[in-house]
């Protein structure tokens, strides 16, 4: 495939990127609201908060293989459209949970079901959008595809967090539930008429075969994602514990730094190598985690969230470019599913563990643990530099 110019790549990715942004607003809106709804309205412990938040990532993990094969065999566009319908249906379960607020345990179970359904939709949307994007602009632009899809996701987090707080203040958690139902349907209309790409495979590929090809960069993603995970699950509780007021600006700081890094440096993984970029960025992310751990003021916590967002921003496509280089070319969707599965593993396991740690040692302690985990990604980046793939997609 011939080299695409930057403007051509961006134009082809624009409708997909915009649709992902709109769809992921629902996750952004839930970030500061769901933990407080569980903790304050339903009276659940930080461990339960961690389990419910982490359930989405655990459920997404179980759906990655199916979603990846579906995108490869049935078409990435179809996977994305179905994912949006599934994500919208999670809003119905969220609304249903409000009917059982007087029975908190039952309400939590219904919320858990909603998180599982949302995970399936999210898995199809991410796998479909990345496979669709790479089908349009070529695997040599894999880093750019991941960068722009990531910009859409974290712009949605940055805008969605204060929007969720505003909806919650005006209409309660029900406002967020209704938005969860409506927004994915609107996102679907953005890409319904866009050009699709042909399926890349005619037969089901073993998930474990592809997993074996991408496990090392996936491990780097797993360690680096823990810093992101402890912000999404516990920053609202940290601000509440320290009586610092609204935590939504911490999500905004994370999201804006994430987007800024992608906008100005998103070309680097394709240009200079994913492992080199990841090595530098996980160190920046670790510093951000340490700042939040030692924060004595909201401003220091905002700075820590911003550094975490900046570092994690390029760690994801950095390790991701290495994953694409190592996977068979006809399995792009499944390779992305296998790669992102490591994020699911990290967040699905670390969220409840961090919840237990927060309950015993205080909420701030999860950010020290997050820094340790992120530093482990440095070793993975070093190993990737030492173990070059046989073929390069760049």
| % of the chain residues with pLDDT over 70 | 93
pLDDT of residue 65: 75
Q: What is the pLDDT of residue 389?
A: 59
DSSP string, 338-365: HHHHHHHHHHHHHHHHHHHHHHHH-TTH
What are the sequence ranges of the domains in the chain? Answer: 6-193+203-386
Q: What is the pTM of this model?
A: 0.72
What is residue 234's predicted lDDT score, i.e. its pLDDT? 86
User: Can you read off the two tokens belonging to residue 373?
Assistant: 């985990």
For residue 71, how many other CB atoms are within 10 A of its CB? 35
pLDDT of residue 330: 66
pLDDT tens digits, 258-268: 888 988 888 88
CATH number of 6-193+203-386: 1.20.1250.20
Helix, strand, coil shares of the chain as percentages rounded to 5? 85, 0, 15
**What mean pLDDT do residues 269-292 have?**
92
Average pLDDT over residues 359-364: 88
- As a whole number, mean pLDDT of residues 326-352 equals 76
φ and ψ of 367, to 5 deg: -80, -25
Judged against a pLDDT cut of 50, whether residue 100 lies above it is answered with: yes
Predicted confidence at residue 43, as pLDDT, reads: 83
Q: How sure is the predictor about 93, in pLDDT bands with cuts at 50, 70 and 90?
A: very high
Model confidence pLDDT, tens digit, residues 301-329: 999 999 999 999 899 889 988 888 887 76
Q: pLDDT-based confidence at 84, cuts 50/70/90?
A: very high
Instruction: Band the pLDDT of 4: cuts 50, 70, 90.
Output: very low
CA–CA distance, 208 with 181 (Å, rounded to integer): 34
Measured distance CA(375)–CA(325) in Å, rounded: 24
Q: In this structure, what token pair is assigned to residue 340?
A: 């992102």
- pLDDT at 221 > cutoff 90: yes
Flag whether pLDDT at 58 surpasses 80. no
End-to-end alpha-carbon separation of the chain, Å? 11
pLDDT at 3: 45
Please give the residue that has the higher pLDDT: either 262 or 204.
Answer: 262
pLDDT in tens, 152-180: 887 887 788 889 989 988 898 899 999 99
pLDDT-derived band at 332 (thresholds 50, 70, 90) equals low
Does residue 189 have a pLDDT over 90? yes
Dihedral pair phi/psi, residue 202, rounded to 5°: -105, -5
Question: Based on the number of CB atoms within 10 Å of its own CB, is 292 exposed (0-12), middle (13-18) or buried (19 or more)?
Answer: buried
Distance CA 14, CA 358 (A): 40
């Amino acid at each position: 495939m011939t080299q695409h110019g930057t403007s051509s790549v961006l134009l082809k990715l624009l409708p997909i990127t915009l649709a992902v942004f709109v769809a992921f607003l629902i996750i952004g809106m839930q970030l500061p609201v769901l933990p407080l709804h569980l903790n304050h309205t339903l009276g659940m412990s930080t461990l339960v908060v961690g389990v419910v938040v982490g359930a989405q990532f655990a459920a997404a993990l179980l759906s990655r293989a199916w979603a990846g094969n579906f995108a490869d065999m049935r078409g990435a566009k179809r996977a994305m459209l179905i994912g949006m319908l599934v994500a919208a249906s999670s809003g119905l379960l969220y609304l249903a949970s409000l009917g059982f607020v007087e029975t908190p345990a039952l309400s939590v179970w219904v919320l858990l079901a909603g998180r599982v359904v949302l995970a399936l939709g999210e898995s199809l949307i991410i796998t479909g959008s990345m496979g669709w994007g790479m089908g349009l602009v070529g695997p040599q632009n894999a880093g750019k595809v991941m960068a722009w899809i990531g910009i859409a996701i974290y712009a949605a987090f940055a805008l969605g967090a204060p929007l969720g707080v505003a909806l919650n203040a005006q209409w309660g958690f029900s406002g967020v539930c209704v938005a969860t139902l409506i927004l994915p349907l609107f996102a679907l209309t953005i890409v319904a008429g866009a050009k699709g790409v042909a399926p890349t495979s005619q037969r089901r590929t073993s998930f474990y075969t592809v997993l074996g090809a991408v496990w090392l960069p996936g491990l780097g993603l797993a360690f680096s994602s823990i810093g992101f995970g402890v912000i999404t699950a516990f920053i609202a509780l940290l601000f509440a514990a320290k009586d610092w007021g609204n935590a939504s600006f911490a999500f905004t700081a994370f999201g804006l730094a994430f987007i800024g890094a992608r906008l100005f440096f998103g070309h680097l993984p394709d240009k200079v190598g994913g492992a080199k970029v990841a090595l530098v960025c996980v160190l920046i992310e670790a510093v951000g985690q340490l700042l939040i751990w030692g924060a004595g003021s909201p401003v220091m916590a905002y700075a820590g969230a911003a550094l975490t967002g900046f570092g994690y921003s390029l760690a994801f496509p950095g390790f991701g470019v290495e994953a694409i280089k190592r996977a068979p070319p006809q399995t792009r969707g499944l390779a992305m599913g296998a790669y992102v599965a490591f994020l699911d593993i990290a967040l699905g396991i670390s969220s409840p563990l961090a919840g237990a740690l927060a309950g015993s040692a205080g909420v701030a302690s999860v950010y020290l643990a997050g820094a340790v985990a992120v530093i482990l990604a440095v070793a993975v980046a070093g190993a990737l530099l030492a173990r070059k793939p046989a073929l390069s997609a760049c």
